[in-house]
Amino acid sequence: MADEPVVLGVDVGGTKVAVAAVNGATASDLVQRPTPVSSTSELLNGIEATVREAITATGDPAAIGVGVPSQIDYGRGTVETSVNIPLTGVPLRDELGKRFGVPVFVDNDANCAALAEAQLVDDPPATHLVMLTLGTGVGGGVVIDGKIFRGADGLGAELGHFPIEAEGPLCPGNCPNRGCVEALCSGTALERDATEHAKDLPRTRLGNVYGEKGTVSGPDVVSAAEDGDTDALLLFERFGRYLGVAISGYVNVFQPHIFVIGGGLSRASGLFLERAIAEAESRALPALWKRVDVHLARGGADAGVIGAGLLAAQEIGRDTQRSAATTSTEGRA
Amino acid sequence: MADEPVVLGVDVGGTKVAVAAVNGATASDLVQRPTPVSSTSELLNGIEATVREAITATGDPAAIGVGVPSQIDYGRGTVETSVNIPLTGVPLRDELGKRFGVPVFVDNDANCAALAEAQLVDDPPATHLVMLTLGTGVGGGVVIDGKIFRGADGLGAELGHFPIEAEGPLCPGNCPNRGCVEALCSGTALERDATEHAKDLPRTRLGNVYGEKGTVSGPDVVSAAEDGDTDALLLFERFGRYLGVAISGYVNVFQPHIFVIGGGLSRASGLFLERAIAEAESRALPALWKRVDVHLARGGADAGVIGAGLLAAQEIGRDTQRSAATTSTEGRA
């Protein structure tokens, strides 16, 4: 396999573009450059330049997988909507395919992360996995039979937008629902609830933060909770309870063997994960719960690159090889 | 194809066993006999006898698909739990395989019904479909890429057990959740709510029913609502609203092109379906909602037989053939 052309993974984030050769769960020859966001053409040129830089080290690739923080019509390879980087409406697969002359595959970064997580469990790779990414919003990815599940047109697996509290708060994201997972278990929801709560409690720690800044941020709540502040702990108790409600639903529906919690908020998991798991355990169908392992994301900073590369490898039919190689010798981070 | 061995579909219900030759969405040579439920061996003998009766008309089949009202470990072909007929723990696939000497495939009847519904849409058959069956409980089936989705071990797609009202009522089924779809949108939930409601309203229609019988049944509520009784109409308004909440979540997660409402309660759909669709439309992600068609189940009494036959045809690799034949000439009921 050493002489075979590599598969490249590309992770286009809001601040940096990362490119690496991907084999199993291993990334090598990593190149990272800032993401140009001033215009679509600058962005496309920036992605191209970063990929070409990687190619000088790896040689021409067999295929390129690209993860972007955007909603993708996977069948067409186009970007439906993109809030953080200027890609809305761009036929990204074809644009990049023209530039490199090799097969390019483009997917949502949460889908790529889920694929990386499936590779990062104990051997063999997980065939059925659900991943929730808790950040400003709530994203997710679902792996079924070892492949990313996308729905009929690649717009599915919107795991942040299942309602779990029918008359709950309006979703703070670009979604008309009420009480959906993102409306209750996102960074934005946490800040909304903390701010509302602090307004009525002027002489408390969160009240003081509100008095100074007119708002309470996620990091404010995390820091207060870590210091044992009761108001902040109660906010996380509620957060964990709702997360557990959502986990129970997704376990019952997808019956995964692996359930992964990722995203920026998972760094504060000590404040809510135990509560979430207890809630999910009390609610999920027992036969399904006993078959699932819930854990934090294992992928590091290069999980997005790895997932994008795995996607491309699967699409060109290299994943059987890859799984075999991974199982025997390498690929565990 | 006329000389090829047929594929048989078998629908084992609580009251009758139905067997027919299945080709596309068409069932022929139907045989129906009462379901013996006195013991497992009587039941297995009864299924065998009914299938043999069909075989005298059709000749030896290429494969047999069997739908049962039970929870199935599809990979092993065994029955995990079975409430209405005595099959719990039975290795049904192997038991029937031994008796007939041809490949046998066993699945949950709701999964089989979903597969039949995918075949019953306008050409071509639906690749991505979600079906909710509203009866005593709430079941469901999911078709992804034209195949039944089952989760890692065949225990998934428990669509009745996603919580949509976190602190709602306890599930009346064999499920520890609160506020799940079955706890709000099942016949049992409707009877529970109607009875509770009627207790406090002695001089109303539902109150009179309660006074006479000590309970209010589903048919009592349906009949009162059809006569314009306000209390009954309000119960269905709530039922429809919750159903819409659930539909919005499943559209966001599975992104199907077809959403089917079936089950015994769907016969009263005039009382809740319009409300449910309006609620779902106001909540689902617009890009996904505009790509889905929500309709009542189209399969008739033979849908279970057809779905079971389609499953067997798929498993022996005959579904490409079948879809082609169906598209060109036949197979629409």
pLDDT in tens, A126-135: 999 999 999 9
What is the predicted pLDDT for the residue at A252? 97
Q: Which of A252-256, A328-332, B237-241 has the lowest mean pLDDT?
A: A328-332
What's the DSSP call for residue B74?
A: T
Q: How far is CA A121 from CA A39, A116, A124, A332, in A?
A: 39, 9, 7, 8
Cross-chain Cβ contact A155/B287 below 8 Å: yes
Contacts of A247 (CB under 8 A, 6+ apart): A132, A259, A276, A277, A279, A280, A284, A294
pLDDT tens digits for B25-76? 899 999 999 999 999 999 999 999 999 999 999 999 999 999 999 889 898 9
What is the predicted pLDDT for the residue at A12? 96
Which amino acid belongs to residue B172?
Answer: P
A285 → closest Cβ in B128, B158, B286: B158
Q: Cis link prior to A36 (omega < 30° from 0)?
A: no
The rounded mean pLDDT for chain B is 92
* B83 against A315, higher pLDDT: A315
Give ipTM to 2 decimals.
Answer: 0.91
Side-chain half-sphere of A164: how many Cα atoms within 13 Å?
A: 29
Interface test with B, best of A70, A161, A174, A259 (most B CBs within 10 A): A161
Chain A and chain B share a number of CB contacts under 8 A equal to 143
What is the predicted pLDDT for the residue at A81? 86
Using an 8 Å CB-CB cutoff, list chain B residues near A257.
Answer: 152
What is the predicted pLDDT for the residue at B301? 83
Sorting pLDDT into bands at 50, 70 and 90, what band is A331? very low
The yes-or-no verdict on residue A332 having pLDDT over 60 is no
CB count within 10 Å of CB A169 equals 15
Cross-chain Cβ contact B283/A156 below 8 Å: no
Using an 8 Å CB-CB cutoff, list chain A residues near B252.
Answer: 156, 158, 161-162, 177, 180
From the number of C-beta atoms within 10 Å of its C-beta (0-12, 13-18, 19+), residue B226 rates as middle
Using an 8 Å CB-CB cutoff, list chain A residues near B162.
Answer: 162, 249-250, 252-253
Which residue matches tokens 């994203």? A139
Cross-chain Cβ contact A158/B127 below 8 Å: no
Quick one: closest CA in A to B154, which residue? A255
Using an 8 Å CB-CB cutoff, list chain A residues near B291.
Answer: 152-153, 155
The yes-or-no verdict on residue B326 having pLDDT over 60 is no
What is the predicted pLDDT for the residue at A2? 53
Cα–Cα distance between A96 and A105 in angstroms, integer?
9
Element (H, E) at A64: strand A63-68
Cα–Cα distance between B325 and B63 in angstroms, integer?
18
A158 → closest Cβ in B127, B157, B252: B252
Quick one: closest CA in A to B250, which residue? A162
Cα–Cα distance between A243 and A235 in angstroms, integer?
12
> Which has the closest alpha carbon to B71: A285, A256, A251, A127?
A285
From the number of C-beta atoms within 10 Å of its C-beta (0-12, 13-18, 19+), residue B98 rates as exposed
Sorting pLDDT into bands at 50, 70 and 90, what band is B318? confident
Contacts of A51 (CB under 8 A, 6+ apart): A8, A10, A19, A64, A96, A100
Quick one: closest CA in B to A73, which residue? B287
How much of chain A, in percent, has pLDDT values that exceed 70?
95
pLDDT tens digits for A234-276? 999 999 999 999 999 999 999 999 999 999 999 999 999 999 9
pLDDT tens digits for A119-155? 999 778 999 999 999 998 999 999 999 999 999 988 8
DSSP collapsed to 3 states, B169-227: CECCCCCCCECEHHHHHCHHHHHHHHHHHHHCCCCCHHHHHHHHHCCCCHHHHHHHHHC
Q: What average pLDDT score do residues B241-262 get? A: 98
Cα–Cα distance between A220 and B149 in angstroms, integer?
43
Cα–Cα distance between A260 and A122 in angstroms, integer?
13
What is the predicted pLDDT for the residue at B71? 86
Find residue A307's DSSP bridge partners.
none
Cross-chain Cβ contact B177/A283 below 8 Å: yes
Angle between the N-to-C axes of helices B187-199 and B205-213, in degrees from 0 to 180, rounded to the nearest 10: 100
Using an 8 Å CB-CB cutoff, list chain B residues near A275.
Answer: none
User: Which residues in A16-34 are b (16+ Cβ under 10 Å) and which e?
Assistant: ebbbbbbbbbbbebebbee
What is the predicted pLDDT for the residue at B322? 41
Cα four-point dihedral sign B81, B83, B88, B93: negative
Are A83 and A174 in contact by the 8 Å Cβ rule? The answer is yes
Using an 8 Å CB-CB cutoff, list chain A residues near B166.
Answer: 164-165, 241-242, 245
Cross-chain Cβ contact A285/B155 below 8 Å: yes
Which amino acid belongs to residue A212?
Answer: E
Q: Where are the extended beta strands (E) located within chain B?
A: 7-12, 16-23, 26-34, 63-68, 71-73, 78-81, 104-108, 129-134, 138-144, 147-148, 258-262, 293-296
What is the predicted pLDDT for the residue at A4? 86
Using an 8 Å CB-CB cutoff, list chain B residues near A166.
Answer: 164-165, 241-242, 245
Please tell me the distance in Å from A306's CA to the nearest CA on chain B: 24
Cross-chain Cβ contact B153/A241 below 8 Å: no
Q: Which strand ranges, in their side-by-side order, compose the sheet holding B7-12? A: B26-34, B16-23, B7-12, B63-68, B104-108
Q: What is the pTM of this model?
A: 0.91
Quick one: closest CA in A to B128, which residue? A152
Sorting pLDDT into bands at 50, 70 and 90, what band is B3? low
CB count within 10 Å of CB A304 equals 24
Using an 8 Å CB-CB cutoff, list chain B residues near A248.
Answer: 163, 177
Quick one: closest CA in A to B248, which residue? A162
Cross-chain Cβ contact A253/B159 below 8 Å: yes
Interface test with B, best of A108, A145, A162 (most B CBs within 10 A): A162
Q: Cis link prior to A169 (omega < 30° from 0)?
A: no
> Which has the closest alpha carbon to A138: A84, A82, A188, A93?
A188
The yes-or-no verdict on residue B321 having pLDDT over 90 is no
What is the predicted pLDDT for the residue at B323? 43
What is the predicted pLDDT for the residue at A328? 34
Which residue matches tokens 């079955």? B182
Cα four-point dihedral sign B91, B94, B97, B99: negative
Side-chain half-sphere of B25: how many Cα atoms within 13 Å?
A: 27
Quick one: closest CA in B to A145, which residue? B152
Both structure tokens of A238: 């509620």
Please tell me the distance in Å from A192's CA to the nearest CA on chain B: 19
Contacts of B255 (CB under 8 A, 6+ apart): A150, A151, A152, A153, A154, A155, A156, A157, A158, B128, B288, B291, B292
Contacts of A214 (CB under 8 A, 6+ apart): none
Cross-chain Cβ contact A163/B283 below 8 Å: yes
Using an 8 Å CB-CB cutoff, list chain A residues near B153.
Answer: 255, 291
B102 three-class SS: coil
Cα–Cα distance between B75 and B91 in angstroms, integer?
11
Q: How far is CA A270 from CA A224, A236, A307, B112, in A?
A: 13, 10, 26, 43
Sorting pLDDT into bands at 50, 70 and 90, what band is A65? very high
From the number of C-beta atoms within 10 Å of its C-beta (0-12, 13-18, 19+), residue B123 rates as exposed
The yes-or-no verdict on residue A188 having pLDDT over 80 is yes
What is the predicted pLDDT for the residue at A3? 67
* A33 against B1, higher pLDDT: A33
Using an 8 Å CB-CB cutoff, list chain A residues near B249.
Answer: 161-163, 180
Are B135 and B263 in contact by the 8 Å Cβ rule? The answer is yes
Are A107 and A148 in contact by the 8 Å Cβ rule? The answer is yes
pLDDT tens digits for B104-115? 999 999 999 999
> How distant is the alpha carbon of residue B23 from its chain centre?
20
Q: What average pLDDT score do residues B170-184 get? A: 95
